[in-house]
Amino acid sequence: MGALLQCSFGLAPSSLVVLPKNKVMGEGPPAANIMDHIPMVNIMPFGMCNSPANPTVAAATAAALGVLTPMPCIPATSAPWVPGAATVMLGFMPSLDNVSKCMCNWGGVISINNPATTKTMIP
Protein backbone atom coordinates (compact mmCIF):
# COMPACT_ATOMS: atom_id res chain seq x y z
CA MET A 1 0.00 0.00 0.00
CA GLY A 2 1.35 3.40 -0.96
CA ALA A 3 4.10 2.18 -3.29
CA LEU A 4 5.01 4.77 -5.93
CA LEU A 5 4.23 3.45 -9.42
CA GLN A 6 5.22 4.75 -12.86
CA CYS A 7 3.91 3.76 -16.30
CA SER A 8 6.23 4.00 -19.30
CA PHE A 9 3.49 5.90 -21.21
CA GLY A 10 2.13 7.87 -18.23
CA LEU A 11 3.11 11.46 -17.50
CA ALA A 12 2.76 11.34 -13.70
CA PRO A 13 3.43 8.79 -10.95
CA SER A 14 0.63 6.99 -9.16
CA SER A 15 0.21 5.17 -5.87
CA LEU A 16 -0.61 1.49 -5.32
CA VAL A 17 -3.81 0.90 -3.35
CA VAL A 18 -4.08 -2.42 -1.51
CA LEU A 19 -7.29 -3.59 0.12
CA PRO A 20 -6.83 -5.53 3.40
CA LYS A 21 -8.35 -8.73 1.92
CA ASN A 22 -5.20 -10.84 2.55
CA LYS A 23 -5.05 -9.78 6.20
CA VAL A 24 -1.26 -9.28 6.07
CA MET A 25 0.33 -5.95 6.93
CA GLY A 26 3.70 -4.67 5.75
CA GLU A 27 5.12 -2.05 8.15
CA GLY A 28 1.57 -0.87 8.91
CA PRO A 29 -0.44 -0.77 5.67
CA PRO A 30 -1.76 -3.89 3.87
CA ALA A 31 0.77 -5.93 1.86
CA ALA A 32 0.16 -6.72 -1.83
CA ASN A 33 0.36 -9.87 -3.92
CA ILE A 34 0.56 -10.25 -7.71
CA MET A 35 -3.24 -10.23 -8.04
CA ASP A 36 -3.44 -6.61 -6.82
CA HIS A 37 -3.55 -5.29 -10.40
CA ILE A 38 -7.17 -4.18 -10.80
CA PRO A 39 -7.52 -0.82 -12.63
CA MET A 40 -9.06 1.99 -10.58
CA VAL A 41 -9.02 -0.27 -7.48
CA ASN A 42 -5.32 -1.07 -7.05
CA ILE A 43 -3.74 0.88 -9.91
CA MET A 44 -4.78 4.52 -10.21
CA PRO A 45 -4.33 6.78 -13.30
CA PHE A 46 -0.92 8.13 -14.31
CA GLY A 47 -2.07 11.59 -15.34
CA MET A 48 -2.06 11.66 -19.13
CA CYS A 49 -1.38 8.72 -21.48
CA ASN A 50 1.00 8.97 -24.47
CA SER A 51 0.45 5.48 -25.91
CA PRO A 52 -0.63 5.48 -29.56
CA ALA A 53 -2.22 2.06 -28.89
CA ASN A 54 -4.71 3.69 -26.48
CA PRO A 55 -7.92 4.28 -28.50
CA THR A 56 -8.57 7.70 -26.95
CA VAL A 57 -5.00 8.85 -27.73
CA ALA A 58 -5.28 7.45 -31.26
CA ALA A 59 -8.58 9.29 -31.85
CA ALA A 60 -7.23 12.57 -30.47
CA THR A 61 -4.05 12.20 -32.53
CA ALA A 62 -6.08 11.55 -35.69
CA ALA A 63 -8.23 14.62 -34.94
CA ALA A 64 -5.01 16.66 -34.55
CA LEU A 65 -3.86 15.56 -38.03
CA GLY A 66 -1.23 13.14 -36.73
CA VAL A 67 0.23 15.21 -33.90
CA LEU A 68 0.51 12.94 -30.83
CA THR A 69 -2.13 14.18 -28.39
CA PRO A 70 -2.02 12.76 -24.85
CA MET A 71 -5.35 11.92 -23.23
CA PRO A 72 -6.31 11.15 -19.60
CA CYS A 73 -4.95 7.83 -18.38
CA ILE A 74 -7.38 5.05 -17.56
CA PRO A 75 -5.25 2.01 -16.60
CA ALA A 76 -6.10 -1.20 -18.46
CA THR A 77 -4.26 -3.93 -16.57
CA SER A 78 -5.82 -7.33 -17.21
CA ALA A 79 -2.81 -9.49 -16.29
CA PRO A 80 -1.21 -9.90 -12.84
CA TRP A 81 2.11 -8.44 -11.80
CA VAL A 82 5.12 -10.57 -12.82
CA PRO A 83 7.16 -12.27 -11.50
CA GLY A 84 6.40 -11.49 -7.83
CA ALA A 85 8.31 -13.04 -4.96
CA ALA A 86 7.62 -16.75 -5.51
CA THR A 87 9.16 -17.72 -2.17
CA VAL A 88 6.87 -15.44 -0.14
CA MET A 89 3.22 -16.41 -0.51
CA LEU A 90 0.50 -13.97 0.45
CA GLY A 91 -3.11 -15.16 0.18
CA PHE A 92 -1.99 -18.25 -1.82
CA MET A 93 -0.27 -16.02 -4.42
CA PRO A 94 3.31 -14.69 -4.66
CA SER A 95 3.75 -11.41 -2.83
CA LEU A 96 4.53 -8.24 -4.76
CA ASP A 97 8.13 -7.07 -4.68
CA ASN A 98 9.98 -4.02 -5.96
CA VAL A 99 11.13 -5.64 -9.23
CA SER A 100 7.67 -6.80 -10.35
CA LYS A 101 6.13 -5.29 -13.49
CA CYS A 102 2.55 -5.01 -14.69
CA MET A 103 1.59 -4.62 -18.34
CA CYS A 104 -1.09 -2.19 -19.48
CA ASN A 105 -3.22 -3.31 -22.45
CA TRP A 106 -2.12 -0.12 -24.25
CA GLY A 107 1.57 -1.15 -24.20
CA GLY A 108 2.76 0.57 -21.05
CA VAL A 109 4.97 -1.16 -18.49
CA ILE A 110 4.09 -0.27 -14.91
CA SER A 111 6.99 -0.47 -12.49
CA ILE A 112 7.47 0.20 -8.80
CA ASN A 113 9.69 3.25 -8.24
CA ASN A 114 9.46 3.29 -4.44
CA PRO A 115 8.11 0.21 -2.64
CA ALA A 116 6.96 2.20 0.45
CA THR A 117 8.01 -0.68 2.73
CA THR A 118 11.68 -1.48 3.11
CA LYS A 119 12.14 -3.07 6.52
CA THR A 120 9.61 -5.90 6.46
CA MET A 121 11.35 -9.15 7.36
CA ILE A 122 10.00 -12.65 7.77
CA PRO A 123 10.89 -14.16 11.16
Strand partners, 102: 110
Among 38, 43, 21, 44, smallest CA distance to 92 is for 21
Query: Do the beta carbons of residue 81 and residue 34 sit within 8 Å?
Result: yes
pLDDT at 121: 54
> Are 43 and 102 within 8 A, CB to CB?
yes
> What pLDDT is attached to residue 26?
65
pLDDT of 30 reads 86
**Would you state the pLDDT for residue 7?**
97
Amino acid in position 104: C
pLDDT at residue 104, rounded to an integer: 97
- Please report the sign of the dihedral spanned by the C-alpha atoms of residue 86, residue 82, residue 113, residue 1: negative
Q: Determine the pLDDT at residue 118.
A: 64
Which pLDDT does position 62 carry in this prediction?
A: 96
Regions of the chain with pLDDT less than 50: none
